[in-house]
A = this chain, B = another copy of it.
Amino acid sequence: MANNTITAPLGFLAGGVKCGIKKSGKPDLGMIICPTGARAAGVFTTNKITSAAVQISKKHVKNQTVYAVVVNSGNANACTGRRGLKDAVKMCSQTARLLQIANRKSQIENVLVASTGIIGERMPMKNVIAGIRKAAGGLLNSKSAGMNFTKAIMTTDTKPKMTCRRIEISGKRVTIAGTVKGAGMIGPNMATTLCFITTDVAITKPMLAKALKNAIGDSLNKLTVDGHQSTNDTAIVLASGLAGNRPIADKCPRYKKFAKALVELCDDLAKQMALDAEGATRMFKVVVKGAATQADAAKAARAVANYDLVKCAINGGDPNWGRIICAVGSSGVKLNLRKMSCKLDDLAVFKNGSPTNFDRKKASKIVSQKSHTITVDLGVGKYSDFCYGCDLGKGYVTINAEYHT
């Protein structure tokens, strides 16, 4: 089997270890390095309260070159005051000191950091430092090393989530690989959760940033599990440039090819996240058409995907479309009830403001699939948008009632 982990693109090594941040004893510290230096770009949470790691990485990502990313799970290092900021900086400096990449001391500012886990607890820095040492000493460019990184960033995820795309740009093979961790506190307007993408494409920093922002906007930002925006959400892309393609420096066809592959990769990751969301058993896509504005379409689609009663109905395999219409109504978007309609996949359940005589068994079968599409036409305009969601199962409650103490 091909290597589809984040070590697949040329120029990356990775690793993941256990260092006791998590009480469960599971892997909790991961590292990715690009010894030759990578162009980097990041998208971060828009929550007004951000973790120490987000605050530090937002600054560091502005540097022209990034050599390493260090990530821990089990502790979010958020709401931890000045001490938390110091701890996040320490994670960078420790990584920089140990790596001494390419025979020169990499600077603290060339290291990015990300954290996920419990909010409001201080980082167990003794464990973290030991973990960084252990990880830095065992970095490899193998498939298993990439997998170890992915495992180290997981929290309530039940499955490691990763994907890879291989394309050709100016006659050279370019590889893009990505991994994400879910699976709760996944909501609006951000680079949902932690997402790390590596690629060997040769590209300028501004174009890389543009491609990332675009890809996240059409994928992870279209996913809602519980409408919750975390303090820690971070998506980072590192480009080693080793593929040897003619460098991408503007909106040329090469850029478009790369950007398209990046969207597909992120869309794939978003779907993996939806299916592995806390307590979820299935996912769905909400498409809203006929909206007066693009913003209205996006708002209505998100409202449906976020609506607990819709999510519970889908969990129960119940084609309770009335709740879909109710969710759209409460979103406050412009609509014309007499021209509104709703479909579950291709089955019309509501047309021009009245229920149809649809086959209930068929409808129930549709919403019981691993994935289905809900289409709502607002009947007032020509704009459309979409949002991914997942069902709300008892597992979500179990996981989140018992996560902390």
| Cβ contact within 8 Å between A354 and B83 | yes
Q: Is A321 an interface residue (CB 8 A)?
A: yes
Which residues of the partner chain B approach A121 to less than 8 Å between Cβ atoms? Answer: 322, 355
| Cβ contact within 8 Å between A329 and B48 | yes
| Cβ contact within 8 Å between A397 and B326 | no
Fill in one digit per residue for A28-64: 1 if any B CB lies within 8 Å of its CB, else 0: 0000000000000000000111100000000000000
Nearest B residue (CB) for A391 = B401
Q: Is A185 an interface residue (CB 8 A)?
A: yes
Q: Is A146 an interface residue (CB 8 A)?
A: no
| Cβ contact within 8 Å between B404 and A330 | no
Instruction: Kindly identify, within residues 302 to 324 of chain A, every residue whose CB is under 8 Å from any CB belonging to chain B.
Output: 307-309, 312-313, 315-323
Q: Is A256 an interface residue (CB 8 A)?
A: no
Q: Is A131 an interface residue (CB 8 A)?
A: no
Bound together, the chains give a CA A282 to CA B385 distance in angstroms of 38
Q: Is A293 an interface residue (CB 8 A)?
A: no
Q: Which stretch (A72-80, A201-209, A258-266) binds chain B?
A: A72-80
Q: Which stretch (A106-114, A226-234, A245-253) binds chain B?
A: A226-234
Q: Is A353 an interface residue (CB 8 A)?
A: yes
Q: Is A402 an interface residue (CB 8 A)?
A: yes
| Cβ contact within 8 Å between B78 and A405 | no
Fill in one digit per residue for A327-342: 1 if any B CB lies within 8 Å of its CB, else 0: 1111011010100000
Are A326 and B47 also in contact (CB < 8 A) when A121-B355, A319-B405 are?
yes
Which residues of the partner chain B approach A49 to less than 8 Å between Cβ atoms? Answer: 325-326, 328-330, 335, 337
Bound together, the chains give a CA A333 to CA B47 distance in angstroms of 10
| Cβ contact within 8 Å between A120 and B230 | no
CB distance from A33 to the nearest CB of B (A): 30
Are A325 and B79 also in contact (CB < 8 A) when A121-B355, A350-B120 are?
yes
Bound together, the chains give a CA A333 to CA B328 distance in angstroms of 25
Q: Is A170 an interface residue (CB 8 A)?
A: no
Nearest B residue (CB) for A316 = B401
CB distance from A308 to the nearest CB of B (A): 5
Contact of A400 (CB < 8 Å), options: B118, B226, B312? B312
Nearest B residue (CB) for A393 = B397
CB distance from A315 to the nearest CB of B (A): 5
| Cβ contact within 8 Å between B120 and A309 | no
CB distance from A324 to the nearest CB of B (A): 9
Q: Is A392 an interface residue (CB 8 A)?
A: yes
| Cβ contact within 8 Å between B312 and A397 | yes
| Cβ contact within 8 Å between A330 and B187 | yes
Bound together, the chains give a CA A333 to CA B321 distance in angstroms of 34
Nearest B residue (CB) for A361 = B405
Are A353 and B405 also in contact (CB < 8 A) when A47-B329, A393-B397 are?
no
Q: Is A389 an interface residue (CB 8 A)?
A: no
Bound together, the chains give a CA A120 to CA B340 distance in angstroms of 13
Nearest B residue (CB) for A399 = B312
Bound together, the chains give a CA A49 to CA B81 distance in angstroms of 45
Which residues of the partner chain B approach A382 to less than 8 Å between Cβ atoms? Answer: none
11 cross-chain CB contacts under 8 A = A48-B329, A48-B330, A118-B322, A119-B320, A122-B355, A187-B330, A228-B307, A228-B330, A312-B400, A313-B403, A318-B403
